[in-house]
Amino acid sequence: MADQQYFGLCRHILENGVEKGDRTGTGTLSTFGYQMRFDLAKGFPMLTTKKLSVKAIIHELLWFLSGDTNTKYLTDNGVRIWNEWADENGDLGPVYGKQWRGWNLGDCKFTEVISGDTYSFNFKNLTSDQIADVIAQIRSNPDSRRLLVNAWNVGELDQMALPPCHFAFQFYVAPSVDGPGKLSCQLYQRSGDVFLGIPFNIASYSLLTHMIAHVTGLEVGEFIHTIGDAHIYTNHIAQVKTQLEREPRELPTLNIKRQVTDIDDFTFEDFEIIGYDPHPHIAGKVAV
């Protein structure tokens, strides 16, 4: 169960965490290095011990996949989770979507001799679409160990409103002798706000795994979540303890309503979370 995996993380921090300062000045109880595994065939890992916003999770992921880095799409759809970091125009700099769909490769110049004549070629502002590339690799070379997407663009970190917390993920295709293979995804997260952020990240990357499995004709395997600095902010400790007192409920299931072959063709209406019956929401202040 997803909640039990998450409860294990929370208890590990409460029992073993050290008091540690942070950029926001809030203070944390922190541990370094933790991993959770979720079998996506056993249910969609939306935590049931507090209500999560399905709308926000789906819209944010579609926003990432569109390559957008302005909050207008999100706010137009009632999602305000990025507003605290955006400038007055809603811009965030080259954050997740920009790196996923348009990593800046810079300029390229080369010459080539053709039939005795020398030609010069100049390409400006080349970019790499990492999502399209990794999907193409999954289809053509599923045994590759290079099925990676990276958002940690060192040359552009200082232009980002918030450097990526969940910054690198890798896919793995397990072959099957009697049907389609299974697609798994491992996320590496450098910094994890365990009360507010981590439940959201679990659901978001599980959804992404389902989407990419869907367009590549694969079944889903596992979502593996590896966290560097896993922390509970000091002003969330009471809320975490409240959540730990709740009894987990059955996980919902994800239904993709129509056949989609292009990752860019997904819309919000394509997704249905069936049987999500969580305990009530628990409020907590975002550390900015």
User: Annotated catalytic sites, by residue?
Assistant: 165
Distance CA 15, CA 35 (A): 16
Beta-carbon contacts of residue 254 (< 8 Å; ≥ 6 apart): 44, 207, 210, 271, 272, 273, 274
Distance of CA 1 to the CA centre of its chain: 20
Q: 135 is written with which tokens? A: 């999907």
Which of 64, 189, 54 shows the shortest CA–CA distance to 131?
A: 64
- In the chain the first and final C-alpha atoms are separated, in Å, by 31
Distance CA 176, CA 193 (A): 37
| Cβ neighbours, 10 Å, residue 161 | 16
Beta-carbon contacts of residue 234 (< 8 Å; ≥ 6 apart): 19, 26, 27, 28, 29
β-pair type (219-233, 182-193): parallel
